[in-house]
Amino acid sequence: MRITVKGKVAVLTGAASGIGAALARQLAARGASLALIDRDQDGLERVAAEARLFGATVSTHVADLADPAAIAALPDAIAATHAAPALLINNAGVALVGRFDQMDAADFDWLMDINFWAGVRMTRAFLPALRRAGGARIVFLSSVFGIIAPPGQCAYAASKFAIRGFAEALRHELADTPIGVTVVHPGGIRTNIARSARLAAGMNPEEAAAGVRAFETMLKTTPEVAASTILRGVERGADRVLIGSDAYAIDALQRLMPARYWRPMQRRLGKLGGLVKAPAEQN
């Protein structure tokens, strides 16, 4: 189902930087009203000021999306300024560097809380309001690592496969309603998530830094292009959006070699300085 952004209220997480900031600016330029959510208050206010230059009504909400109570409070806080939202974009995400045997349970849980559970809880919190809006759409940011699962990315890939599975099942459950669901799989996007990634307790910091530097040379797509691609998909009612030529290549390879894709990918990627890093796509 297609949705027109103009005149609609959009709720956007991870809005203070990266793809989230670009989405905020482009949504405002298209005539949407915005409820922007992030834990970075300074970044959030900066992006809100940019969005208001387009004449948009903008509210900001500082929240830690790892906190279920903070998410539960958001619908009432947003309703104080806005009508029922027609667009929920679950964009916030974090990265965790290291192998499974290098990370502790607390770090794994932290990543899942933000990359997976926050999207589930945001959906639960806002679904009643989305129903009231009539035609609406929920967007989930997965990753190319929700299509393939490289070594060194157990937690990240688990979260991105999980949010993809949740979103696809939810789409089928909502098929007879006016609410659509879009899953987005970005490739390498030039944001700060790689540099701001948390290191697993057993990860060597020098090894991690070398891997991040190597991986950043492969990030080709700008947040602005990513945001534009997402919004075009939303407006045409796309169920699935791939971002970047690398995402299309990875998707094709996985379809061709669903169980053995990693060997040809490893030959192409090399060691990446000893580390396979998550695509820098959010925050």
Question: Taking residues 110-115, what's their average pLDDT?
Answer: 97
**DSSP-assigned beta bridge partners for residue 58:** 34
CB distance 208 to 266 below 8 Å: no
Residue 51, pLDDT above cutoff 90? yes
**DSSP-assigned beta bridge partners for residue 96:** 198
CB distance 277 to 193 below 8 Å: no
The structure tokens listed for 274 are 């000893």
DSSP annotation of 216 reads H
Q: How many CB atoms lie within 10 A of CB 216?
A: 15
Residue 138, pLDDT above cutoff 50? yes
Decide if 156 is catalytic.
yes
CATH of the domain at 148: 3.40.50.720
Question: Taking residues 88-114, what's their average pLDDT?
Answer: 93
Residue with tokens 């669903």: 258
No. of helices (H) and no. of strands (E), the chain? 10, 9
Where are any strands of DSSP class E within the chain? 9-13, 33-38, 58-62, 87-90, 96-97, 136-141, 179-186, 198-199, 240-243
139 inside domain: yes
Looking at the 3D structure of the chain, how many domains does it have?
1
Residue 36 has φ and ψ, to the nearest 5°, of -100, 135
Per-residue pLDDT reduced to its tens digit, 150-172? 888 899 999 999 999 999 999 99
**DSSP-assigned beta bridge partners for residue 216:** none
Residues 92 and 137: their CA atoms lie apart, in Å, by 17
40-54, 139-153, 192-206: least confidently modelled range: 192-206
27 inside domain: yes
154 inside domain: yes
Range of the domain at 245: 9-274
32 inside domain: yes
What letters, b where the CB count within 10 A reaches 16 and e where it falls short, cover 103-113? beeebbebbbb
Question: Taking residues 50-67, what's their average pLDDT?
Answer: 98
Burial class (CB in 10 A: 0-12, 13-18, 19+), 144: buried
**DSSP-assigned beta bridge partners for residue 12:** 36, 89
**% residues pLDDT > 70 (the chain):** 85
Nearest to 128 by CA among 157, 68, 85, 92: 85
Nearest to 127 by CA among 160, 165, 173, 93: 173
Catalytic-labelled residue, pool 126, 156, 215, 261: 156
The structure tokens listed for 223 are 């947040």
In this structure, which amino acid lies at residue 138? I
pLDDT band at 211 (very low <50, low <70, confident <90, very high): low
202 inside domain: yes
pLDDT at residue 221, rounded to an integer: 86
Question: Taking residues 242-265, what's their average pLDDT?
Answer: 93
203 inside domain: yes
279 inside domain: no
Residues with Cβ < 8 Å from 232, sequence gap 6 or more? none
Task: Give the count of alpha carbons within 13 A of 64, CB side only.
Answer: 7
1 inside domain: no
